[in-house]
Amino acid sequence: MSRSLFLAAAEPESGKSLVLLGIMNLLASQVGRVGFYRPIIKSRKETDPHIKLVSERYDLPFEYDAMYGLESNDALMKIQQGDTDGVITEIINKFKKLEKRCDFILVEGTDYSGSLSPFEFDFNARIANHLGTPILSIINGYMKSVSEILDTAHVIKSMLKKEKTPSIGTIVNRAEESNIDEIIEKLKKINSKDEITFAIPDREILQRPTMRQIKDGLNAEIVFGDEEALNHHIYDYKIAAMSLERILAHTSDGSLVIIPGDRTDVLLALIMTLLSENYPHIGGILLTGGVKPDPYYMKLIEGIKKVNVSMLSVYTDTYNTTMRLNKIPSQLTPENERRLAIAIGLFEQFVDGEALSKSISITRSSIVTPVMFEFEIFERARAQRKHIVLPESNDERILEAVDILQRRSVVDITLLGKEEEIKQKIGSLQIDSKKIRIIDPAKSKLRKKFAEEYFSLRQHKGVSEDAAYDIMGDLSYFGTMMVHLGYADGMVSGAAHTTQHTIRPAFEFIKTKPGVSIVSSSFFMCFEDRVLVFGDCAVNPNPNAEQLADIAISSADTAMSFGVDPRVAMLSYSTGESGKGADVEKVRNATKIAKKRRPDLSIEGPIQYDAAIDASVAKKKMPGSEVAGKATVFIFPDLNTGNNTYKAVQRAANVVAVGPVLQGLNKPVNDLSRGCLVKDIVNTVAITAIQAQIEPGK
């Protein structure tokens, strides 16, 4: 029998989706098979946004129809005909079918947007009772005094008592931040001692629509702008109905400027503000009246590479367009990773996940999914917060990752580069720069000190003092020296630079750990139900037996550092004593060396991949082995085999590959792929922070 929890809002505009996302993130990090269910949705004609959000973000394996009971009009019709039992029966039947496929189901109540609104909370309480699900009540605290919030809490209590619905507690969302402590203190007197009580403050950014939501809400056409620009938040609407100089005087950060499509003078002036440090960064442009700029104007705009804005076009006039804009809701959507990070970060900051887990009796699953692994590295990075330097501040992916890392409170960040250019780019991406440290190596007082250290370390290689000073102007060298001298705990680079550019400085003066002869790499391969470690798939083309033994030991230590019990398979094209040839002998010798150096590790080799991973094959090829059939660390004999294999597995099995993680260095420096996604950068920075928590040299 699966466990379950019912989320029910006490009133409209409660920001229930934030709580939903926060709890779903917690569940997905600890429970193997999580389900999501809505007893009633608004309409079958349009996809329920919350089912879409949860299903896509957490890759739920359920059909859409399996995740809801019935639509609101059908429910209302049955209720009006006196068939309330029929409504409840249909909801229960579909819930029970889903329940058989899950370890835990999160149930979300209705939205106060349909015909059931007048009696919504008590209806949700009754449904929760029939499903055998405890309820978590959500109160809207926006623009409310503490006494008004408490009044709502008393009403909820009386309704739950009337329906005899078990409650696990209350979350007040969108509260005034200065009232948080008082709200919690007084709510605890209303709730029982076993109930949880939390309050989450309002954040304006989560209540504002994005350009994507405006595009969808107006059915607008994209005239200019990329996918990222559609994720810009819009804080207000400005109608450009004045003279040009007055329009410029009234723009503000995050404004959507609405202009008739034929006002190309205003359009070009707005584009210029995005290139100027003297004007705010508008959030988007909306052209009305169905008129689009002349192709020559568009050619001019498209040639300006630094313009990070989206331009939409609609056929309606300015007045009617503005009226429609005011009806577009702000929603959390699966494609806007930064917006989701804001919501999850806020939830994690103000809701005690451990207390919530205890209240709904969550026990951690032995299965490890990609979401669980990501959650675990975030939690570990946060537990002992480290300082990471990022040299590639001119790359938008890096800046977007920084925003997510800051919102989730994972690490402290230093960006390297020209401060004015970085602030300009941060502003255009709507990133909060208050907590981000920026250093320009060309102007930094540290450059001289770093050059002196580099000269001291490299003069025996013919490096002069002047050359050392010049080299410390390089962002990668400067960032690595920050790590070497303790100004930062780790560095991540490679989104725009080559692997050689990223790791060469580390080879020169961070050096390898004692007893390690070679720097290598490993990937965390996140399957649906487990995490495996593959090494070396990124650094060493053809390691000898001694080096391969080093790679195996380093990869096993990496696995242990991240909670993977290391059972090491030294891969070859033959298993055991059957194979002959130089390649097999190399693996055989590497296995002997690794076992001698680390008798505490379970290491097997040479062994074929199928015998290492498949228990049925292992019984035939290597019976009685501690590793065969249950290996967790896979060591490839050369880079050609490792790189191709990890990519083949990643694509064929739809595996999330996190890495490469560099191992063997005294202090952590990690390399990114130049084709990396924002999520890859976020995960690599978190992993680097965890590596930095380990005492240097260990």
Q: Is 265 helix (H, G, I), strand (E, B) or coil?
A: helix
Per the listing, tokens 């988007």 go with 284
Considering the domain 366-510 in this protein, what is its CATH number?
Answer: 3.40.50.10950
Q: What is the DSSP track for 582-637?
A: HHHHHHHHHHHHHHHH-TTSEEEEEE-HHHHH-HHHHHHHSTT-SSTTS--EEE-S
Q: Given 3.30.1490.190, 3.30.750.210, 3.40.50.300, 3.40.50.10750, which CATH number is that of 520-664?
A: 3.40.50.10750
- Alpha-helical (H) ranges within 473-542 are 475-484, 499-505
542 contacts 639 by C-beta, under 8 angstroms: yes
284 contacts 229 by C-beta, under 8 angstroms: yes
- Between CA 412 and CA 489 the distance in angstroms is 10
Give the angle subtended at the CA of 627 by the CAs of 623 and 630, to the nearest 5°: 95
- Between CA 402 and CA 414 the distance in angstroms is 10
DSSP 8-state secondary structure symbol assigned to residue 119? G
- Between CA 391 and CA 502 the distance in angstroms is 9
587 contacts 605 by C-beta, under 8 angstroms: yes
644 contacts 466 by C-beta, under 8 angstroms: no
How do the domains of the chain map onto residue ranges?
A: 3-203+344-358, 211-325, 366-510, 520-664
- Between CA 544 and CA 381 the distance in angstroms is 34
State in words which class domain 3-203+344-358 has: alpha beta
Name the β-bridge partners of 547: none
Per the listing, tokens 């080299």 go with 471
Enter the tokens of residue 220: 């607008």
Domain 211-325 adopts which CATH fold?
3.40.1390
Strand ranges across the sheet with 34-41:
68-71, 34-41, 104-108, 3-9, 135-140, 167-175, 196-201
Residues of the chain with pLDDT under 50: 1, 115, 697
Establish whether domains 3-203+344-358 and 366-510 are of one fold. Answer: yes
- Between CA 422 and CA 399 the distance in angstroms is 9
pLDDT score at 478:
95
Q: pLDDT tens across 324-380, in order?
A: 988 888 888 888 888 888 899 899 989 998 888 888 876 665 667 777 788 888 888
- Alpha-helical (H) ranges within 164-294 are 180-190, 211-218, 244-250, 264-273
Q: Cβ neighbours of residue 80 under 8 Å, at least 6 residues apart?
A: none
Enter the tokens of residue 502: 């990223």
Q: What is the CA radius of gyration of the chain?
A: 29
- Between CA 376 and CA 369 the distance in angstroms is 11
Q: pTM of the prediction?
A: 0.79
pLDDT score at 6:
94
109 contacts 39 by C-beta, under 8 angstroms: yes
pLDDT score at 359:
85
622-657 as b/e, with b when 16 or more CB fall inside 10 Å? beebebbbbbbbbbbbebebbbebbeebbeeeebbb
pLDDT score at 463:
87
pLDDT score at 113:
57
- Between CA 570 and CA 567 the distance in angstroms is 10
pLDDT score at 1:
44
From residue 160, alpha-carbon distances to 113, 122, 185, 195, 360 in Å are 22, 7, 21, 13, 18
Q: If we measure between CA atoms, which residue out of 24, 26, 23, 30 comes closest to residue 57?
A: 24
